[in-house]
Structure 1
């Protein structure tokens, strides 16, 4: 069996797909991964021996460019991404038996069009629960489409989100579908998410909300009454890379430091975030590890209590730090939780406020209030994360995190795709 995995997003979107690719291959499947043409993704997939199909422009260029995307330009950009992802996928999928997709909505829509054209099964995957409609949580607002400030009914908010999908993504998706001879869709949200999406999130960290009232509640959500979410657990790619000699020496030279890094977030609204973070950590008597990331953070002086690092093995590093200050991406949140490292989440967008709230609810860290930390606000959050009781709770939760999510998903996909293929033949 051959499976095409498609995504367009940051490392947090690509790395779980790499984990699924490894799990599928271990079960005998052949796998290709279509991802942005960034060099780091090509290197990641080459390192695990998985075929890489580059798609569209590098995502880092899009995220860190001098002119950030405006809400007004989003429909045009979405239309272009749909077409570009389709062109990358249509040839790569010719001999495949299924397509699995995640990432930006237009790219997912393109993947579904390719699956439709070839008559093969399609699966959508989300890495966090609140991407998917439920009366038990509110959606995140889309660019340029804020929610009414006094609206608290989740059903109403999801209806508004469905309208926003149609306004922002619908025109581009349908223009492309028309151009390749496919029928237009009148519900872009449902078209992308499908009726049975996969949820690749740990059930302790990010549980799908269920209750006896779910069926009745969902019946009130138009066109989503039969949404059947399958939670597999997070898709974790084992990282065997050693820490550098310089980093190992720094860790060995004193008490565990606090790691500060914001991954693929450019942190445009926090030009002084490195200064703020280093000073806040020092105020707690701790050493600092600064992760450069896409914000290109740097040291603020030449004192020997700080070290700046680039791309490092978080699975090896986080068990050796006092706390992790980060943006709240699903991957970083899960890795830190597995390591038993207390966390401070400084959320920037989309799923990150959700993960910050979950970290606080679980008692394994603090959620910073807003995306722009100050010395005072970050110091207060660090006070929570560095408390002995937070460390003890983080150690307890670490033992509860599942590591078999990718294998669970791979077995499920191969079983269901095999049955669907047999039913069609």
Structure 2
């Protein structure tokens, strides 16, 4: 039995799939993952076969794909839908299921491939706020204008669906027609389906049941990471009190360059009397002087690292939020895009940290946020919530998926 997993996006869109894949393999399934070519090394280390999809995601995000520097959304979406379709269609024939997440055009292409091949399809979301519900409003879409009279959540979700149809409907339906599939009216609901998986922790990102969707909340899909921390990082950690970690993953910070952000975050942490551990990431955080209270790391085992820091300052990706919460590390979230404001709100509501006011950290604003995160009561609350974070989400999802496959067969 073969299961095809599909995602197109940054590390936060790929990492959970490397948590699900080994669980499926342990239950006897063969797994192939369609993902951006950037992640070949990650998937190789996880023992998961890769089928590359589309352009390297970092090159696309930074405008470095030749010929795509000035491409519009519809052009990118059309190509990405087709590329995802071709990749999935090439490996999914005869498979037991296709599970897809990430960029909407890519997921639409994956859904079309599953449909064309007659293969069961599951959409997965890593955050509750992406899924339509009367209990919360939708995330704003780029270019969407909300009429002044529309305030209720149901009305906002209706507008969200209309906007997605206007923005991407023609593109996706043109592709569907080209491969012999009929066009669909509501592309969002067609791609999401009425029975999606929600790979988010029930305490950190709870789902309130609705009559519209039958959501299967499994818990976050966590890949166990047993890598040791680098020797030089271990030496830095051992040389003094717990540092504050600052890293923004696959995000570039809006409104400032790398040097400005580096100076702001280092000064903010120093103001709190703490040492600084910078995660360089796509924001290119770097040292601003030669003082020995600051250290820079690249990609490391955050599961191990976050248990040894005083607080974590980050962008608010679902995976980083969950990793920090599981480690019991107080958080400051500096949200940039997508679901990141949602996670900032949840961290604040739970009392395990706070959201930063705005996407661009300044020394004074971040220092104020850090005072909240470093307060003893925040640390105690973070430690308590850490005990509730589920670690079996990927296992639950794998079992649920295989049960669904068995029933459909």
Q: TM-score range by the shorter chain?
A: over 0.9
Q: Distance in 2 between matches of 1:386 and 1:368?
A: 14
The aligned counterpart of 2:201 is: 202
Please provide the CA RMSD for this pair: 1.5
Tell me, yes or no, if the aligned pair for 1:83 and 1:176 is still in contact at 8 Å: yes
Q: Distance in 2 between matches of 1:416 and 1:12?
A: 26
TM-score of the superposed pair, with normalisation by structure 2: 0.96
The aligned counterpart of 1:2 is: 2
Tell me, yes or no, if the aligned pair for 2:94 and 2:119 is still in contact at 8 Å: no
Q: Distance in 1 between matches of 2:162 and 2:70?
A: 15
The aligned counterpart of 2:368 is: 380
Deviation for aligned residue 1:64: 2.1
1:198–1:70 distance in 2 versus 1, CA, 3 Å:
farther
Number of residue pairs the alignment of both structures matches: 405
Give yes or no for the alignment of 1:128 onto 2:127.
yes
SS in 2 for 1:242: coil
Q: Distance in 1 between matches of 2:164 and 2:70?
A: 13
Give yes or no for the alignment of 1:407 onto 2:395.
yes
The aligned counterpart of 2:18 is: 18
Following superposition of structure 1 onto structure 2, how do residues 263-302 of structure 1 map, counting pairs within 5 Å?
Answer: 263-271=249-257, 272-302=260-290
Following superposition of structure 1 onto structure 2, how do residues 20-35 of structure 1 map, counting pairs within 5 Å?
Answer: 20-35=20-35
Out of 333, 337, 343, which is 2:325 matched to? 337
Deviation for aligned residue 1:72: 8.8
Task: Give per-residue Cα distances to partners, 1:199-243, cap 9 Å, x unaligned.
Answer: 000000000023xxx44xxxxxxxxx3x11110000000111110
The aligned counterpart of 1:220 is: none
1:114–1:66 distance in 2 versus 1, CA, 3 Å:
closer
1:71–1:193 distance in 2 versus 1, CA, 3 Å:
farther
Tell me, yes or no, if the aligned pair for 1:72 and 1:144 is still in contact at 8 Å: no
Q: Distance in 1 between matches of 2:334 and 2:168?
A: 28
Tell me, yes or no, if the aligned pair for 2:254 and 2:359 is still in contact at 8 Å: no
Deviation for aligned residue 1:167: 1.5
Deviation for aligned residue 1:355: 0.2
Gaps of 5+ in 1: 216-224
Tell me, yes or no, if the aligned pair for 1:79 and 1:176 is still in contact at 8 Å: yes
1:49–1:66 distance in 2 versus 1, CA, 3 Å:
closer
Task: Give per-residue Cα distances to partners, 1:27-49, cap 9 Å, x unaligned.
Answer: 111100000011xx111111121
TM-score of the superposed pair, with normalisation by structure 1: 0.93
Q: Distance in 2 between matches of 1:148 and 1:238?
A: 46
Gaps of 5+ in 2: none
SS in 1 for 2:268: helix
